[in-house]
């Protein structure tokens, strides 16, 4: 997504250091309130039963993919303003697919979800780091505080277990728990991977640059990749984890393909942010940097997913896992 209330993300509030330190210290002890968005009934029929109210799990060969709910709450404005091309028929199909996204009136209530890919031995690739604490750059519009530290602890993942953090793009609801307010990487053993074009598109005063890119560069933890990149593999019977460029939502947006045991899963990032773009891929999102490119990326990803029977792991639908070939799609 992107901040719908301002041209750039707000600066961090003075008190956020204290808030984030406390949240990280309590990560193993916070009790999570059950969320209707993450209950078994909300998951796709093929999904395994969630291990907790904020965790759902799928297994792909030697990989285990965990959908981790950081937050759920209303998006500012109306859904029609966010998706101005959507028709009444589009909304009807989307409601059947993801009813929890439809709040009172014309409002939109997305999930804010991260994903962990865990392989034998417990090593983890984390895809995105959520909205962060109160005072984070997303605080001006997102339902902070996020709960990712507690959810990771509940899943049995410590910060030291994470060997790679893939940032699908540099919007504030996707990098919130990447670093502490002092600029220290939250995941001390991880390299943070971003497409080079994503970083290059940031102006010198953009919050994403000052809040997350520069601290990671100083710590020697930022890895800028160019195009399709294999993180683990190679592809074969053992499977692979591959970064796929899917630009348009932002210039360097990327998704993650997990292959294992003959199955495929795509962590989509913000290629699609609402079920209305799943049932009608031509529907543009008002906060896409390049709507035409975003549409091409979305249509290509969904075509490939349907052709190969890949499961989608989405960031903002209220269903952790979706089988796109079983979805009614608008034609014409």
The Cα 248–Cα 284 span in angstroms is 11
- Looking at residue 98, what is its pLDDT? 96
Name the token pair of 317: 């639908």
Q: Are 273 and 285 in contact (CB under 8 A)?
A: yes
The C-alpha atoms of residue 308 and residue 301 are separated, in whole angstroms, by: 11
- How many CB atoms lie under 10 A from the CB of residue 307? 9
Whether 21 is in a domain gets the answer no
Give the contacts of 326 (CB within 8 A, at least 6 positions apart): none
pLDDT of amino acid 1: 82
Is 275 part of any domain? yes
State both tokens at 26.
């309590």
Could you tell me if residue 3 is inside a domain? no
Of 65, 234, 73, residue with least CA distance to 166 = 65
Measured between alpha carbons, how far is 126 from 168 in angstroms, rounded to an integer? 10
Collapse the DSSP code of 246 into the 3-class scheme (helix H, G, I; strand E, B; otherwise coil) and give the result: coil
Domain extent at residue 142 = 34-326
Helices (H) and strands (E) in the chain, counts: 9, 13
* Overall number of domains in the chain: 1
Instruction: Give the span between the Cα atoms of 293 and 328, in whole angstroms.
Output: 23
What's residue 36's pLDDT?
A: 30
With b for 16 or more beta-carbon neighbours within 10 A and e for fewer, the 81-97 pattern comes to ebbeebeeebbebbeeb
Report pLDDT for 238: 61
C-alpha count within 13 angstroms, C-beta hemisphere, residue 28: 5
Residue 139 lies in a domain: yes
Q: How would you class 289 by CB atoms within 10 Å of its CB: exposed for 0-12, middle for 13-18, buried for 19 or more?
A: middle
User: Does the residue 186 lie in any domain?
Assistant: yes
What pLDDT score does 74 carry? 95
Max Cα distance, the chain (Å): 53
Give the SS3 label for residue 290.
Answer: coil
Note whether 317 and 98 are within 8 A (CB). yes
Q: How far apart are CA 219 and CA 225, in angstroms?
A: 17
| Dihedral class, residue 128 (left if φ above 0, else alpha if ψ from -120 to 50, else beta) | left
Pairing of strands 124-127, 162-166: parallel
Is residue 117 within 8 A of residue 224, CB to CB? The reply is: no
Considering only CA atoms, give the Rg of the chain: 18
What pLDDT is stored for residue 32 in this prediction?
A: 26
Structure tokens of 164? 């790679």
Asked whether residue 234 is assigned to any structural domain, the reply reads yes
Look at residue 138 and tell me if it is in a domain: yes
Alpha-carbon gap, residue 286 to 269, rounded angstroms: 16
CATH number, domain containing residue 243: 3.60.15.10
Residue 20 lies in a domain: no
How far, in Å, CA of 40 to CA of 212, rounded? 34
| 142 half-sphere exposure, CB direction, 13 A CA radius | 33
CA dist., res. 265 & res. 197, Å (int) = 24
Q: Which two structure tokens, joined as six digits, stand for 276?
A: 């209305």
pLDDT by 10-residue block (mean), the chain, 332 residues? 60 32 30 28 31 79 94 96 98 96 96 95 94 91 95 96 97 96 92 98 96 97 97 65 97 96 94 98 98 98 97 96 84 54
């Amino acid at each position: 997504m992107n901040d719908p209330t301002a041209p750039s993300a707000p600066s961090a509030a003075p008190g956020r250091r204290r808030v984030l330190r406390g949240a990280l210290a309590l990560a193993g002890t916070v009790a999570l309130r059950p969320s209707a968005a993450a209950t078994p009934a909300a998951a796709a029929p093929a999904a395994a039963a969630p291990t907790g109210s904020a965790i759902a799990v799928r297994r792909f060969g030697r990989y285990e993919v965990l959908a981790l709910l950081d937050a759920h709450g209303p998006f500012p404005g109306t859904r029609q303003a966010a998706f101005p091309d959507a028709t009444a028929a589009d909304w009807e199909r989307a409601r059947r697919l993801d009813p929890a996204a439809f709040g009172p009136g014309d409002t939109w209530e997305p999930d804010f979800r991260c994903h962990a890919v865990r392989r034998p031995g417990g090593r983890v690739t984390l895809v995105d780091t959520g909205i962060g604490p109160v005072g984070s750059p997303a605080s001006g519009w997102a339902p902070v505080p996020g709960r990712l530290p507690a959810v990771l602890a509940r899943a049995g993942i410590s910060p030291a277990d994470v060997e790679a953090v893939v940032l699908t793009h540099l919007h504030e609801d996707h990098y919130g728990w990447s670093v502490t307010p002092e600029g220290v990487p939250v995941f001390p053993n991880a390299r943070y991977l971003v497409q080079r074009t994503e970083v290059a598109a940031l102006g010198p005063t953009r919050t994403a640059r000052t809040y997350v890119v520069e601290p990671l560069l100083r710590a020697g933890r930022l890895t800028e990749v160019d195009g399709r990149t294999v993180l683990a593999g190679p592809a074969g019977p053992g499977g692979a984890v591959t970064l796929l460029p899917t630009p348009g939502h932002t210039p360097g947006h990327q998704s993650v393909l997990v292959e294992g045991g003959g199955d495929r899963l795509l962590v989509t990032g913000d290629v699609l942010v609402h079920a209305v773009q799943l049932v009608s891929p031509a529907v543009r999102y008002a906060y896409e940097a390049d709507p035409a490119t975003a549409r091409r990326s979305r249509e290509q990803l969904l075509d490939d997913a349907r052709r190969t029977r890949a499961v989608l792991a989405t960031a903002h639908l209220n269903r952790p896992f979706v089988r796109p070939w079983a979805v009614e799609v608008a034609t014409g």
